[in-house]
Structure formats: C-alpha cells, structure tokens
Chain A
Amino acid sequence: MSEVRPQDILLRVGGRTLLRHGVLAWAGSNRANEFKETFTRASVRRFRDRDLANGTIALGRKAGNDNVAIEYPAGLSGLVDAQGLPYCGPRLDGGRTQLVTDPENFGNWTAINVTRTAGQADPFGGTAAYKLDATAGGDNRIQQAVAGFTSGTRAILVFLRADPASAQSNIRVTDSVGGSDRHYVRVTWTAGVPSLSTIAGSGTLFGVEPWGASWYAILINADNVVASDLVMIYPATTNGTGTVYAFGFNAWNSPFPSSYQGPGESAGAADALTTPFNFGLKDVTVLARMARPLWADYSGAIVISPGVFSLGTADSRWAMETDNNSRVVKARIQPNGAGVTTASTAILAGAEQTWLAQYDRMTSGARALVDVGGGPTSFTSESAAHSTFGSQTLKVGQHNDQLFGVLLDLIFANGLRTLAEMLAIP
C-alpha cells in the first residue's frame, strides 16, 4: 500500500470528474484524443439541479433521451468537497413502470371536500401543480385508485409545498377509508418545512428532499399494498380545513422510490453509461463515492441488486454490486466461467458513501476484498485466474441492475490501496 499518485489513476468517472476536468470520464492524459464515455437511455430522466439561490428557484429538470442527468443530491445540498466543489453526479436508474394514471392531472382524481386550482408553479419550472383547498370539515381529500399495484411493499413519491398557513397534510395508501390503511402518513409543516410520521399502517419513511421554491419531495413506501388500492392527498388534517400545493404523484411496484416520472414517461428506461477499459488485467483498487441511495434505508428485499460497476463478459468479469436481500456491498469476481466469489460488508450510515474494492492476482488466482469505512474484509479465497483481456467495456453504475443512485466518483487505480489512500485523491 502506498500513496496514490496522479499517474496511478487509470480511469475516473462521475461528478467529481465532471467538475474537475469538464467531462464525465477521464483517463490518462487527455491532451488530444479525449477519452469518451457512451451514454444511452430511451426516455427522459427527471433530476434535481444545483441549488444556487437559497431555494427560491425550482430545481427540477429534465434530461432528454440519451442525455445524462447530472443530479445534485438533496442529502449533500449546500456542501462542498475538499476542492470547494459541490456534490453532483450522473443519476443512474433502471427502467421502471410508474403506476399512477394521472401523476400530474389531479383534475382527474376524485375530490371530496377539496377545491382544486390548476396552473400553479411546479418544481420543474412549469405550471402543472395544483392548489388543493380543503374547504369544509369532514373527510377532505383527493384520491385515485392504482390498478397496477401488485401485492407487496410499494413506493410512493409526491411533491408538496406548504401554503403559508399550512400546519399538516396527509398522504395515505389504503384500500378504502375506514378499511385497511397500508400506510397513512402525517406531513407536519414547520415554517414550510415538512416532517413525516406514521398515523396508521406501516412502511418506511425515506424522508423529504428540498426541491427549491419551497417544494419538497415526500418519499415513503407502504406495506401490504394490493391491486387497486387508493392513493390519497389530504390538504390538511383528516377532518380539518387548510391548503397545500401538490404535484407529481408517483407509485411503483418496488419498495423504494426512484426519480420522478411525468405523464408519458411511465414506461421509464434504464440509464446505460459505459467507458472503454483497455488496461488489461492487473492489481486494481476501485473507489466509488456516491450519494446515499434511497434503497440503502430499506431493510427488506428490494428485488434488484444495484450495481456500481461491471467489467468483462458474462463468463469472465469482476464487479462491485450490492445485494437484493440485505444492504451489503460486494466485490465480486467470476473468472472464466468459474464460480463467483465475493467479499461483502454492510453499508454504513452517512449521506456520502465511500466504497472501496481491491482486486488482486487476476492472472494467477483472483481474489478481492471490500471496505466501506469499517475496515477491510478478508480477501476472498483464490479463484481461477482470469484470462488476460483488453478492449473491454466498463459498465458504470450497473452490474446485473442499475445503481438507482447518484454516482459522485468512480476511480480505478493501479495497485492495491487502502480506503484512506484512495480518499486522499482530491
């Protein structure tokens, strides 16, 4: 182990590279022929932009087909790294089908004791939000059935903005009022800032994200959901009067929310970011920095295994990924069709995640370890040697599944380095 020097860096990808070198991927000396990433996505992607004006400007943006969405994660908002640069990176999500029939047109929802006023400024710089006034006492809400729900724990995202006098609003997933609440969530407004608590039912409260212009993304899931359950917005308390602004109600057949999908974007599409990787097989250390993904805060099975990177073909590859059943990070090796060996360790707390993997003896008896800040694991037992390969394609933010998160930095360095040594790279 030794200090990492600039010449030890083979390849760097992500938000830090974007702000330091002006491009998303950078390798070696880029004097003439620039090292270039490839990016595809057959749909738009919504993302959170850089906040520059004390939250008075809506931060929601849209990236078109095949354009990378550079997100400034809410959890690292206002912070800068050692170089004085903000935290950002490509948002790399998988394809997902959004289930709410009218995610923005609340005029098509059923309203009970609520007056709806369309044409309000929304968090994406448009005017597709609604003002919702609970005008009479009693059960006051808007609601829509989600026919596409399948049974299980299901994710919800909705944008809310307080009216100056707002004290409370509610979000509810239920089979019927008076029936079985899947997750009934109270949104308590304190000077326009929401906080979440569970009234009834169960699920995860992922939290709230500021999206500028006083908008907040409310991120939750609900347990025990079944087909055609209702989703509801209460402008005020269940039986009170009051006002709230609402926009963009999304639901997915997944336990954790992903990026917002507007009308017509319901099919979703996966982000595919790749770079050339022509360094052959050698001892390599990989450092991944990322904003804490939402799925890291869900304790159950998430169906997918978010990937950080993947290199090689199906029969001969190495990767960093996570697990669908538990929140661990894995360094994975699969040489020449032989069995997979992995080293894994649990994800720690923290808004910024720093995950390191070492890959060793690739041409003799490949092995790997991983360290996320709690100390390195042991090396895996030696597996078969990889065949030497060149001209590979590196999948970034993807192995078997996409990362579903924001990749701040991904560094490949020559040799075996500790986490501290890799974190010293500015």
Chain B
Amino acid sequence: MPDTELFEDVACPFCGMLCDDLEVERSAGGLKVRKGACGRAVAGFERKLPASNPQVRGKAVSRDEAVAEAARLIGQASLPLYGGLATDVEGMRAVMALAERSGGVVDHALSEAQYRNFKVLQSVGWTMSTLTETRNRADLIIIAGTDVAALHQRFFERIVAPPASMFGVDAKKRTVVVIGKGLDKAARNAGVGEVVTLPCKPEQVGEVVGALRARLRGFTLNKLDIDGVTLADIDALAGRCRKAAYGVVVWAPGAFDFPHAELTVDQLAGLVKDLSTTQRFAGLTLGGAEGATTAASVSTWLSGYPMRVSYASGAPEFDPDRYAIARMLGEGEGDLLVWIASYSPDLVPPKTDVPTIVLGTPGMKLPKSTHVFIPIGTPGLDHAGRLIRVDSVVSLPLKDLGRAELPSAAGVLAAIEAAL
C-alpha cells in the first residue's frame, strides 16, 4: 500500500444521503477529505482512531479468544438481543444469520424513528420520490418539522439548489416552505427563489398540515392560530401547493420525537395523497444515518419484516412494540445484548444489567455491562462494503481506504456463528 493515496468518487457512510463525490486522501497522518467535505464527513473520516484491542471483561485478549467468548455467551443465552446494527449490507446479512441461528431478536438503534414511517406505510401506503428526482424536478419543497441541515449538511447544495437541473427548474425558480420554528436558516442561505416559514413546534406540524388539507378540500375553518400560524398562512401555502408542478414534502421521522408521532407522518403522507389526485406531489423521507435504511431493507428481504423480529420460535415473528429492544431491556426481557456500531463512537449501547457483547468502532465508551468487546472497522474506510441510501432505492459501493487494519462486522459475526 503506498504511503499516500488519493481516492475519488468516495461514498460517505456517515449520514443517510451517502454523497459519493468525495475525494479523500490517505497519508501517514490518517484520512483527509479533500473534496465534498461537510462537518459530518470530516468528523467521520478524519477522526483519530485510538489503539484498540479485543477485550473480555476489560482484559485485553486475542481476537480468537474474544470470538470464542462471544460464541459461548450467545450459545448460552435464551433470548439474545441484536441491537445497534449500525453496519453495512454484508454486516446485516451476518446479523440476520446469527440471530436466526441463536433464536434472537433484531432491532436497529434508530428504529423508533423509522417506525413512525413504517407504521404509516403499513397502514395506508404512500407516494414517494428520491434524491435525484427531487433535485431535478421539485419546484416546491415543503420541509416539515425537520432540521435538515443538521442531518444532511449538503442537502441544500446538492438537492434543493443544485447548479443544474434537467427540466429548467433552477434554484431561483424554487420555493422552500419550512413548517417549524428555527429551521429555515439553511434554506435562506441556499439561494432559492423564495423561502416561506410557518413557525410552529414539531408537535404542531400535524395540526398545521391537517388544517392545510382541510382548506385544500374546501372546508371552512374557524379563525385559527397554531403557535402563530394563521389561516392566512395556511391559505397562502394551499395556493402555492396548487401552483406547484412537482411538490415534494420532506421530513425526517426522527424530528417528531413525541408519543404517536406516526400521526404526524400520516398527515404528511395524506397531504401528498390528497394533492396527487390532480397534480404531482411526492414525499421524501430523510435521516437514515448509522446504516438504518440498510438494516431495515436487508431485514425485510431476509425475514419479510423491517426489524423488530424475533426468531425465538425459529420462524420470524414480527411485533413492532413487543420486539423493540429498548423496551425489552427496560422490562427485563432478553438475557444478552449484542451491540453493533461501526460508524460513530457515540452510538453506545443502552444502560442495561444484561451482559453485553459490543462490536464497535475503536473509541467507543464501553458501558459497565460489556463482557466482550471486539473492535471492528468502519465500512467505506477500513474495508469495502455497500450501503442503502435513505430513499431506499439507491445503494452505493463503499471503498476500502486502508485507514486501519480492522475486521468487518460481517467477518466477526461469521466467525462467532462458526464457533457456536
């Protein structure tokens, strides 16, 4: 391997957008993002990896010993819980195989947010768009309750106000409507034609959109004031919707962090559905960091379900409430936690009394429950891999940039399965 090497067309695994136009240089000092940088990419690619060893109960051991101990714990467990699941396609395949083999439960760290979407999909369906389609076509982008720039720093540069678009919808011809308070800074800096803000709290987005749907259907509403959003604001937005050639409603389910927030997502999907009878509208859901979209997709094609599946009986049994791992740990269900976190050192396992096996990126702060720790590589830095993008359509190859000699989650999980 040469001392320094420049990689082009590098896909970034640190958020769900998977921008793949990065240039990253590897030298003795580590990785440096030379092109296509954003804060998340720099933090992810340029993070200094501390030296890290496999451990059993805090004591450094060889990888083989750690694998053998993990296999022993999994073999003894009656109901192992496979959580975190921040990995790539190959890692998820290995997780599913091991969960099946050991009669375990699978659930991703960010499932709670994703389930706000899945519950709507599984009850009423929806109409959606993708990143390239939105980039070229959307003349009205309604951002609902979501701090998009915090999740995807390059969303405005690449999707909302791209330098070129195929159908003549250049940035100046686009309108961005932000439903939410304090979320419009990036939109205002993006150089689009018009930015309109309807300031309200995330909990009130559903109510604002409900009022909008009522007005679009021609209902009369009494004078309303939703945290400062008035009927006149709603009606102005209705007018903008009616004039749009291709409107896209954007949200990240993680932004709606309150009980029954799936009802907010239901309003957003319902808005798209109402408008689609005579014109074209679509949704675009964001988030999907930590391999969340990949975990859901792979779990679905292998089991039929987007995680929250138990293999305790041998067959996949699905229950989005019962098999939520955070709930299970809280209520003393399950007797072993297997936690996989390949990307961010901050994705630490939840506090628990059950013994925990952590397959994590070096630098993670390990909880007291950790019995076995095996450092693993980050897909797209330490080994090649594949990830599925947040729109659930596009998947991208991740390169081995040769950062560190660390095994893949897939490799470690396969070794554990072989040792069972």
Whether A and B are associated in the same complex: the answer reads: no
